[in-house]
Amino acid sequence: MLTKTEQAKLLADAGPTQPMTMIQALRSALDVTMARDPNVVVFGEDVGYFGGVFRVTEGLQQKYGKSRCFDAPINEGGIVGVAIGMGAYGLRPVAEIQFADYFYPAADQIISEAARLRFRSAGDFTAPLTIRMPCGGGIYGGQTHSQSPEAIFTHVCGLRTVMPSNPIDAKGLLISAIECDDPVIFLEPKRLYNGPFDGHHDRPVVPWSKHELCNVPTGHYTTPLESAAIFRPGQELTVITYGTMVWVSACAAAETGIDAEIIDLRSLWPLDIETIDASVKKTGRCVVVHEATRTCGFGAELLSLVQERCFYHLEAPIERVTGWDTPYPHAQEWAYFPGPERVGAAFKRAMEK
């Protein structure tokens, strides 16, 4: 994990900054890598001419041509299969699955081929591909446009799984993913594309344009893929979370007045367990928060790791706040999300025990 000084120098060397939304930061990452490396190609459904359903790839086809940014048929298995072949023969493909909910037809290619290629070939071939997927709710997309399937990917040996919470990390992590020789699942929380929200429906915590994490360097820089960040330092309890729930947890801490240390995992797997260890042993209390369903969610693994490694430092049982164990509800979307009220209640339970 980089120190704050090392990270600040890295960012300073990446040129002047400018305010960016997460969409703009991701586009900047693709632009920078495509300019530096002619082997980087970007493709997926509506990615080329249209610029992607969320406009992340807007303008890239016009700038780099149809051979480097292009549209693909509605065939997720084919998209990932082609990307694996490209990666094995020297390209660095960035494939977009239009919504994370659509990855299931490509599951065999991701799990049986991409994740295992390096090991099956004894290192003769690698799969340096990045698979971008918008994930989570917040657009009233219902059951087929709102899922958070990160736990499936963290279960698969050979995959890296990443989920940024802010523009400056989004760009650095995406560049690192593209330059990595392993297959990376890059999950993008849709609720954060244009600004952080606190969970009280559409009320923003603060506009991106006024937050320090939106001041993104315009040049090339990387954020280590295995490094968590202390989003909010604190002394009373540790919150382990990622993506949208980083902002919800920060709102809960502000509303309850509890001095919570919030860890933004950024890289779900491989996991920065040292940062988690140090924080939980300092505070003695732990709350795990994620948007995905509870049973067999990634929070269960986080809880187990904390229990195994920090048991004798815990002053209270570990709390877990998640989405419901139900198919994603359209009409009750904002009740399904762990909001500041539910997260704050978990904070209070951890402090009272």
Give the helix ranges, DSSP H, for the chain.
4-12, 22-36, 60-64, 76-88, 107-108, 117-120, 150-154, 167-179, 244-256, 273-283, 298-310, 333-336, 340-352
pLDDT at residue 7, as a whole number: 66
Q: What is the CATH number of the domain that holds 149?
A: 3.40.50.970
pLDDT tens sequence across 299-330: 999 999 999 999 999 999 999 999 999 887 77
pLDDT at residue 142, as a whole number: 81
The Cα 274–Cα 309 span in angstroms is: 10
pLDDT at residue 353, as a whole number: 76
User: Is residue 90 located within the same domain as residue 184?
Assistant: yes
pTM of the model: 0.94
pLDDT at residue 336, as a whole number: 85
Is it the case that residue 350 has pLDDT exceeding 60? yes
Domain boundary among 167, 193, 215: 215
User: Is residue 164 located within the same domain as residue 250?
Assistant: no
Q: What is the CATH number of the domain that holds 275?
A: 3.40.50.920
220 lies in some domain: no
109 lies in some domain: yes
**What value does the mean pLDDT of the chain take?**
92
The Cα 15–Cα 20 span in angstroms is: 14
User: Is residue 129 located within the same domain as residue 268?
Assistant: no
Is it the case that residue 9 has pLDDT exceeding 70? no
pLDDT at residue 270, as a whole number: 97
CB-based contacts of 29: which residues, under 8 Å, 6+ apart? 170, 171, 172, 174, 175, 178
pLDDT at residue 139, as a whole number: 80
- CB atoms near residue 220 (< 10 Å): 18
pLDDT at residue 4, as a whole number: 60
| 72 or 10: which leads in pLDDT | 72
User: Is residue 280 located within the same domain as residue 159?
Assistant: no
pLDDT at residue 5, as a whole number: 63
The Cα 93–Cα 302 span in angstroms is: 31
Name the residue range of residue 246's domain. 229-352
User: Is residue 176 located within the same domain as residue 305?
Assistant: no
Sign, CA torsion 96/109/269/242? positive
Residues acting as catalytic residues: 145
Is it the case that residue 198 has pLDDT exceeding 80? no
- When pLDDT is averaged across residues 48-63 and rounded to a whole number, the result is 97
Domain boundary among 159, 190, 215: 215
User: Is residue 132 located within the same domain as residue 33?
Assistant: yes
User: Is residue 99 located within the same domain as residue 245?
Assistant: no
Cα atoms in the 13 Å half-sphere on the side-chain side of 36 = 13
11 lies in some domain: no
pLDDT at residue 284, as a whole number: 98
6 lies in some domain: no
pLDDT tens sequence across 137-161: 888 788 889 999 999 999 999 999 9
pLDDT at residue 49, as a whole number: 96
pLDDT at residue 212, as a whole number: 80
pLDDT at residue 13, as a whole number: 80
CB-based contacts of 254: which residues, under 8 Å, 6+ apart? none
- When pLDDT is averaged across residues 258-267 and rounded to a whole number, the result is 98
CB-based contacts of 336: which residues, under 8 Å, 6+ apart? 137, 323, 324, 326, 328, 329
| 133 or 206: which leads in pLDDT | 133
User: Is residue 246 located within the same domain as residue 270?
Assistant: yes
Banded pLDDT at 335 (limits 50, 70, 90) = confident
pLDDT at residue 69, as a whole number: 98
Q: Are the C-beta atoms of 261 and 233 separated by less than 8 Å?
A: yes
User: Is residue 136 located within the same domain as residue 233?
Assistant: no
pLDDT at residue 59, as a whole number: 98
Q: How many domains does the chain have?
A: 2
222 lies in some domain: no
pLDDT tens sequence across 172-190: 999 999 999 999 999 999 9
pLDDT at residue 200, as a whole number: 55
8 lies in some domain: no
pLDDT tens sequence across 95-108: 999 999 999 999 99
The Cα 28–Cα 317 span in angstroms is: 43
Is it the case that residue 52 has pLDDT exceeding 80? yes
User: Is residue 180 located within the same domain as residue 62?
Assistant: yes
| Encoded tokens for 194 | 């244009």
Domain boundary among 189, 215, 241: 215
348 lies in some domain: yes
268 lies in some domain: yes
| 45 or 15: which leads in pLDDT | 45
User: Is residue 163 located within the same domain as residue 29?
Assistant: yes
User: Is residue 56 located within the same domain as residue 197?
Assistant: yes
